[in-house]
Amino acid sequence: MRMSIPDCEPESGDWGYSLGKVATGLGVATDNLHRWIDSKGLPAHDVGHPWKFKLYEVNAWVRSSNADASGETGKA
């Protein structure tokens, strides 16, 4: 099963979506997102301290990474 974040307006203008919003949209824990940023190349932007995400980048990453419902991408 492929996951993606439904289209909606970014919560903070040009910087996009928060870690919590992306985790909720994908149905995974924020710990998974931190791990994916560090080891699987999840596109994220360190704006100040909190991570921010662009919807189109996350959705493209999910599609290219073959993410499944377990929260793992299937890539080693």
Domain ranges of the chain: 13-65
| pLDDT number for residue 75 | 43
pLDDT in tens, 26-75: 899 999 999 999 988 899 998 777 889 988 888 888 888 655 545 554 44
Q: Which fold has domain 13-65?
A: Multidrug-efflux Transporter Regulator; Chain: A; Domain 2 (1.10.1660)
Verdict on whether the full-model pTM lies above 0.75: no
Q: Measured between alpha carbons, how far is 65 from 58 in angstroms, rounded to an integer?
A: 10
CA-nearest of 27, 21, 24, 29 to 53 is: 21
Name, in order, each residue with C-beta under 8 angstroms of 40's C-beta and a sequence gap of 6 or more: 65, 73, 75
pLDDT band of 14, cuts 50, 70, 90: low
CA distances from 42 to 1, 53 (A): 18, 9
